Structure 1
């Protein structure tokens, strides 16, 4: 074996002699328990990879217990992928767990590095860009795609791209012939091996740049050691205490950290809107949008404010003005325009038999109602709680109260078609309290998550570093 063929990532697989012709059709159901667990473990994988990033930057070492965890997650994901649609090379159900399973037909070994470059952690994601193009073509953005220094972003054990296509070819051949084409199997393993090497590099688990080559076949032709002076087949290493309780704690802590980051981002967005997004009158609003209809009216209905299913005011938080403050609606059209707010049922009776479009809560897919023109102009109706009409830009302000309301935009004379630029804004007096509360919640979740992860990660024992160690390479 030449030095050029060495790689610290070793992926092996053994093709079962007798595979079921039909089991692959239902494996997507069978792996659901694994997918659910792995989805949580990958959240912890990303969080711990960030911890490892800082550790490498400061000390030049990848923390051994974290290395054992991240390697275990990768090995577990590979077992599930091989069983399901990343290989379909075995019908043996993959075992649950982060530990070693050398008896399983699909195994993974990543040699733990003695030291890592502090500077390289800053640019690995950039150096791997050429590989992203290759493995994106192989995996189609689905399985094991690395993302920056934090590790991998996707967890689904199925594949798309060339891997998924070739596995599908193998499945069809298996269905009709009862055998998996050996050449196709070797090619799929070569592509998966390339993908996993890039993932390990981007996840900071090695400084060895992934080779640009397909090492095809079930048995990885690469040696386990990068350093020629290192032993070729390291023996079993002591466990690092990743018990079920510790794994659960690190997952919970990672979820808290991830949630805290999302909440913090939301709080920052609200802070920016509150401090920088207000106009001179103190309103926070949306950009004006173009709306049009071939009918006689555009209606946003219903706008429900603090009411239950029956339309009655809620007993709790029944003061929308305390949250929204004053509402401002504006409309501008080339012809005299009308904009008004009225009770939803009254507006419905007025527009019964009138051709109009009604927008739901998402503002999409308006419902068109056929009919004719209104019997009277909109301003003649007595039920509007706030309205404005005239040429040019029209603006109304309204102090909201609980109820079901409709916002209507029409031509002032009730004609058709209707085309206008509309915008909405609120004073939102409760916005400072909201982003402040979110920041407090962010801080509490972040502290709780960090403490949870910190206490859950076992301390590294004295002796050799961790790794997922497999037995002798399976023979083809």
Structure 2
């Protein structure tokens, strides 16, 4: 709990991907089945992520440090999740099956790098994950979709709960359209890919911030394209501790 996370230079979050090439016309129809083992593992990983983030919250509150051993795990969970999302219905950007590992895989088509935070604000940790992030949560909901229920009161005064149809989100709609184009034309529209990457980049920046892994507030900016524009020109996509 007392060990510090070594500080690395650079932006707090970098999200990169290789543009899709040579994609199968119809593999996306069964990727939901192929990804089932990953989904099962990720359920347990994300449960652990939440529990350890609470531990990190307490550590930051008292020591102003994010424990290194927790960071290595939580960063690995986010990397794993991004690879699965990119392969699956978060982008359909590759047909290369994602590896079962928390480690960085530099040659995989989807890469997520998180700069270890070093010293963090004790006070900011109390509000950044809910109050300060609220505007971003609204944008993320627009991108990723949501579902739920509403409580309504009838004319007779009776209260009823009505299920709200799930909203697939802009990313889901764009990926679905790209899948249809892929099915009939065997190509992924590049402009659509760039837009999906911009939205995903926004989502992962917010996830890292809300996960207490940085104090740098995510920009309200849609950075399009395969290569993260925040990456220094001389810095090739690489690994994260």
- Normalised to the residue count of structure 1, the TM-score between the two structures is 0.43
Specify the SS of the correspondent of 1:215: coil
Q: Which has the higher strand share?
A: 1
Partner of 2:152: none
The change in CA–CA distance for 1:234 and 1:119 in structure 2 (over 3 A counts) is: farther
Tell me: CA distance 1:128–1:70, structure 2 relative to 1, closer, same or farther (3 Å): same
Match of 1:135 in 2: 140
Task: Select the residue among 206, 209, 216 that pairs with 2:217.
Answer: 209
Answer yes or no: is 1:41 the counterpart of 2:49: no
Q: Considering only aligned residues, what root-mean-square deviation do their CA atoms show, in Å?
A: 1.9
- Whether contact under 8 Å (1:8, 1:208) holds in the other structure is yes
**TM-score, normalized by length of structure 2?**
0.84
Instruction: Give the corresponding residue for 1:171.
Output: 179
Is structure 2 residue 231 aligned with structure 1 residue 223? Answer: yes
Superimposed CA distance per residue, residues 73-130 of structure 1 (whole angstroms, 9 cap, x where no aligned partner):
0010000000000000100000001011011000000000111000000001200111
User: In the alignment, which residue of structure 2 is the partner of 1:281?
Assistant: none
* Offset at residue 232 of structure 1 (A): 5.9
Do structure 1's residue 16 and structure 2's residue 23 form an aligned pair? Answer: no
Secondary structure in 1 matching 2:146 = coil
Q: Which residue of 192, 207, 213 maps to 2:200?
A: 192
Q: Which has the higher helix share?
A: 2
- Corresponding residue for 1:54? 58
Give the number of aligned pairs: 211
Give the 4+ runs in structure 1 shifted more than 3 A.
231-236
* Superposed counterparts of 1:119-130, under 5 Å: 119-124=123-128, 125-130=130-135
Asked if the contact 2:16/2:237 (under 8 Å) is kept, the reply is: no
Residue deviations 1:383-441, cap 9 Å, x none?
xxxxxxxxxxxxxxxxxxxxxxxxxxxxxxxxxxxxxxxxxxxxxxxxxxxxxxxxxxx
Match of 1:115 among 116, 119, 122: 119
- Out of 11, 27, 33, the position equivalent to 2:31 is 27
Deviation at 1:7, TM superposition (A): 3.6
Partner residue, 1:358: none
Where structure 2 has 5 or more consecutive residues not aligned to the other structure, the ranges are 1-9, 148-166
Higher relative contact order (CA 8 A, sep 6+): 2
Unaligned regions of 5+ residues in structure 1, if any? Answer: 1-5, 143-158, 225-230, 237-467, 470-476
In 2, Cα distance between equivalents of 1:191 and 1:233: 22
Would you say the 8 A contact 1:7–1:210 is kept in 2?
A: no
Q: In the TM superposition, what is the alpha-carbon distance from 1:141 to its structure 2 partner?
A: 3.5
Return the alpha-carbon distance in structure 2 between the equivalents of residues 234 and 221 of structure 1.
Answer: 12
Report whether the alignment pairs 1:75 with 2:83. Answer: no
Q: What is the alpha-carbon distance in structure 1 between the residues aligned to residue 197 and residue 90 of structure 2? A: 9
Separation (CA, whole Å) in 1 of partners of 2:132 and 2:79 = 24
- Aligned equivalents of 2:39 and 2:63: distance in 1? 34
30 and 120 in structure 1: CA distance in 2 versus 1, 3 angstrom threshold? same
Q: Is the 8 A contact 1:8 1:223 kept in 2?
A: no
Change (3 A) 1:95 1:209: same
The structural deviation recorded for 1:186 is: 0.3
Relative to structure 1, is the Cα distance of residues 53 and 234 closer, same or farther in structure 2, using a 3 angstrom cutoff? farther
Paired residue secondary structure (1:73): helix
